Chain A
Amino acid sequence: MKPSRIVITGVGLTAPNGNSLAEFRANLLNGVAGIERMEIRYMGSQLAGVCHYDALRHQTKKEVRVGTRAGSISVYCAREALADSKIDWAAQAKDRVGIYIGCTEHGNVETENEIYNISKFNYDTKFWSHYHNPRTVANNPAGEASLNLGVTGPAYTIGAACAAGNLGLIHAAQMLRLGEVDLAICGGISESIHTFGIFAGFKSQNALATHADPAKASRPFDKARNGIVVSEGGCLYTLERLEDAQARGAKIYAEIAGYHVNSDASDYVLPNPVRQAECVRASIRRAGLTPADIHIVNTHATATPLGDIQECEAIRAVFGEGCPETHINNTKSYIGHCMGAAGALELAGNLPAFDDLIVHPTINVDDLDPACALPGLVLNQPRKVAKVDTILNNSFGMLGINSTLIVKRFAP
């Protein structure tokens, strides 16, 4: 049986440089980054991508106090996506809605906060919060969204390191095709900037970016790149089966064309370009396309010296020199690495290209690393192109998880 066609019908997001798709896109086309300095416990001032959405737009003060930042970001993005989709939410059967949220990690923020809290009381654990367990369970971000929305269908997170944003979308498409739900709210989120551990961990790996100018700190493909800018963020979509979306006259942003997920099985942290290339090739094959049919490749590149080169190696192996209509960009150069939200946010930033035929550039490339000099790289200035019918989005993560998602212009 032919699988159902799955379409994107709503987008809700918060990024360090925008709290709606329109604002985010405008800043990507205007070269506006969203990195700032932030005081990190034990570490002092660090570079970070901080979101400035209005949490009280969709939550009570008590929900914000009791819940987590990850839960708050999830609620904001879910509510914004639903509003954008124009679904009649009051009439929607809530038991037929699934919430599938990718996250890199969850619980570190709250655990660190509690340890810091009890340190003020001589480490007496009777001062440990009774909210610790509901805040740190791995399903917390999706659970908070289900509470806020009254969704009684399945709501859970998908732990997939920094590939998680794509995984949220992929898993949702699978669940829609299986008939498990009729509407999926899916994507990825991250609260990681609120844990010192992630900054300290990257610093110990010599993989934490430094730069005098925050806006220039995240610089994939540049010779002077020196690591990751840690960011928070979220992007959730509404996904529906095509027939359901058409029946209610929904705006369709794109159709899920293909995807693939695989594992390196080679190292805890070092990427594996052979497996990455296999993942990209398989996603293109499963979409019924060839590499030359891909018009935008949004890279995962995080601005680590080695990781960028390895992804470029994988892309070169798949696309070679024979894909003149393939344009390659990177969104982390604006917003840093939004971890579990990265894949979902970076896809969203490119979706408007189906309408405006503009490929947003990779900014901050003052001196292109020859090892990253791919044909088709869009550097520093937006590029108006003749055709954008397909977008391929790479998201890779630690422990060697690779994900590639392809969306295509919707054509009935």
Chain B
Amino acid sequence: MTKDECKKVVLDIIADIAPDEDLTNVKSDVRLRDQLQLDSMDFLDIVMELRKRHSIEVPEADYIQLASLDSCAEYLTPKFNALSAKS
């Protein structure tokens, strides 16, 4: 998986948990909370959906890595690739 593909995975999840938001111009390097109406429960949703849909675990200490799309891609892409290498 590329980092861009990883960003797409995260955006697909956000589209479901924040259905009123326009995601066409989300900036990769800006904190998601600074450009979208997302609260702490929504971030728990992102963690839950990564677990449910992709079997990716994000420990609480790493939640900070989900701050922006860039940081998500940086943190999650190796996890996705490690999973696919296993399977």
Contacts and interface: CB of A to CB of B under 8 A. Distances in A.
A66 B41 contact: yes
B51 A130 contact: no
Contact of A130 (B18, B37, B41): B41
Nearest to B16: A65
A121 interface: yes
A13 to B, nearest CB: 26
B18 A62 contact: yes
Contacts of A127: 48, 51-52
Given A121-B52, A126-B51, A131 B41 contact: yes
A66 B12 CA distance: 17
A205 interface: no
B30 interface: no
A61 B48 contact: no
Given A127-B48, A127-B52, A130-B48, A61 B19 contact: yes
A213 to B, nearest CB: 38
Q: Which of A61, A62, A130, A131 has the most CB of B within 10 A?
A: A62
Interface string A122-140: 0000110111000000000
Contacts of A130: 41, 44-45, 48
Interface in A27-86: 60-62, 65-66
B47 to A, nearest CB: 9
B11 interface: no
B72 interface: no
B17 interface: yes
Contacts of A126: 51
Contact of A65 (B19, B44, B51): B19
Q: Is the interface of B mostly helix, strand, loop or mixed?
A: helix
A62 B36 CA distance: 13
A103 to B, nearest CB: 24
Interface string B47-71: 0100110000000000000000000
Contacts of B44: 130
Contacts of A66: 41
A65 B16 CA distance: 9
B22 interface: no
Contacts of B20: 60-62
A60 B41 CA distance: 16
Contacts of A65: 17, 19
A61 B22 CA distance: 13
Interface in B11-31: 17-20
Interface string A99-131: 000000000000000000000010000110111
B22 to A, nearest CB: 12
A127 B50 CA distance: 11
Contacts of A121: 52
A128 to B, nearest CB: 9
Nearest to A60: B20
A261 B16 CA distance: 46
Contacts of B19: 61-62, 65
Nearest to B18: A62
Contacts of A60: 20
Interface in A371-387: none
B36 to A, nearest CB: 11
Which of B19, B20, B41, B52 has the most chain A CB within a 10 Å cutoff? B20
A48 B66 CA distance: 43
Nearest to A129: B48
Nearest to A126: B51
Nearest to B38: A62
Nearest to A131: B41
A321 B52 CA distance: 66
A127 B49 CA distance: 9
A240 B18 CA distance: 38
6 contacts: A62-B19, A127-B48, A127-B51, A127-B52, A130-B44, A130-B45
Given A62-B19, A62-B37, A131-B41, 13 more contacts: A60-B20, A61-B19, A62-B17, A62-B18, A62-B20, A65-B19, A66-B41, A121-B52, A127-B51, A127-B52, A129-B48, A130-B44, A130-B48
Interface of B: 17-20, 37, 41, 44-45, 48, 51-52
- CB-CB nearest 9 A-B residue pairs: A61-B19, A130-B44, A60-B20, A61-B20, A62-B20, A62-B18, A62-B19, A127-B52, A130-B41
